[in-house]
Amino acid sequence: MTPRQAEVLEAVEAFILGRGYGPTIRQLGAALGLPNPSAVLKHLQSLERKGYISRAEGGLRVAALPGPADSRVRVPVAGLVPAGGPRESFDATGEAMDVPSWMVGRRRGNVFCIRVDGKSMIDAYIDDGDHVLLERTGLANSGDMVVAMLEDGSVTLKRLRRDNGRVFLVPENPAYQPIEAPSARILGRVIGVMRKY
C-alpha cells in the first residue's frame, strides 16, 4: 500500500467510525484535500483490488470494520435527561440497550445512553423519547451537543457554545432560551441518536 493509499484508507475508516456510514467520493475528497473525484476513485479502486475495502450498493466498507448487522454492543442507560429546562441529575437505571457496534466504534466501554425528555433539540433532529448515545468525556468543543451538569446539580442536553470567554448551553428550538453556564460540567458528548417510529 502506498502512503497516499494508507491516508485514503485511514480517512475512510475515520469517517465510518465517526458517522456510521461510508463517505461519498466528494466527501472523501474534501477530507483529503483532493478536489478531483477521479483521483479519489482511482485510490478507492486500488484499495478495493488489494482487499482493504469493498464497495457494494453505493457504500464503502473497510475490511476490518464490522458491518451494521454484524454485531451489537450493550451500553448502559443512564436515565432520562431533559431537553427543555434543566432538571435534577439522572442516575444509572441498571438498564442497558443493544446498539449496532458501528455506532460505538473504538469508543466501546466509554459510551452510555440517555432517553430524551423534551423538545428543545428538535431542530437538531433529537426529539422527545429518542435514545441518544454519548461518549463519556469532560471535554467538548464549541458546537458539540453535550449533556452538561449545571452548578445546582441539574442536567440538560444542549449544544455547547463558547463566546469571548462565556459558556452557553444553546437549544436547537427557537421556543427555548440559551442558558449561560460558566461552571457547567460536561458529562458526555453526543455521538448518535436512535429512534423507533
The residue with cell 475508516 is 13
| Residues 56 and 78 sit within 8 Å (Cβ to Cβ) | no
- Which residue of the set 38, 89, 119, 120 is catalytic? 120
- Which residue of the set 38, 142, 158, 196 is catalytic? 158
What confidence score (pLDDT) does residue 90 get? 57
Whether the CA torsion 128, 133, 137, 140 is positive or negative: it is negative
* Cα distance between residue 150 and residue 179, in whole Å: 10
* Cα distance between residue 67 and residue 58, in whole Å: 14
**For residue 40, what is its C-alpha cell?**
479519489
3-62 has CATH 3.30.450.20 classification: no
Q: What is the pLDDT of residues 175-187, one digit of tens each?
A: 999 999 999 999 9
Per domain, the residue ranges of the chain are 3-62, 72-194
Q: What is the pLDDT of residues 18-45, one digit of tens each?
A: 666 778 888 888 988 988 889 888 988 8
pLDDT in tens for each of the 197 residues of the chain?
788 888 888 888 877 776 667 788 888 889 889 888 898 889 888 888 888 887 765 566 676 554 444 577 788 888 778 776 666 555 556 678 888 877 777 776 788 888 898 899 999 999 998 999 999 888 899 999 999 999 888 899 999 999 998 999 999 999 999 999 999 999 999 998 988 76
The model's pTM: 0.60
* Cα distance between residue 59 and residue 77, in whole Å: 31
Q: Is 196 a catalytic residue?
A: no
What confidence score (pLDDT) does residue 21 get? 73
Q: What CATH code is assigned to 72-194?
A: 2.10.109.10
Q: Is 158 a catalytic residue?
A: yes
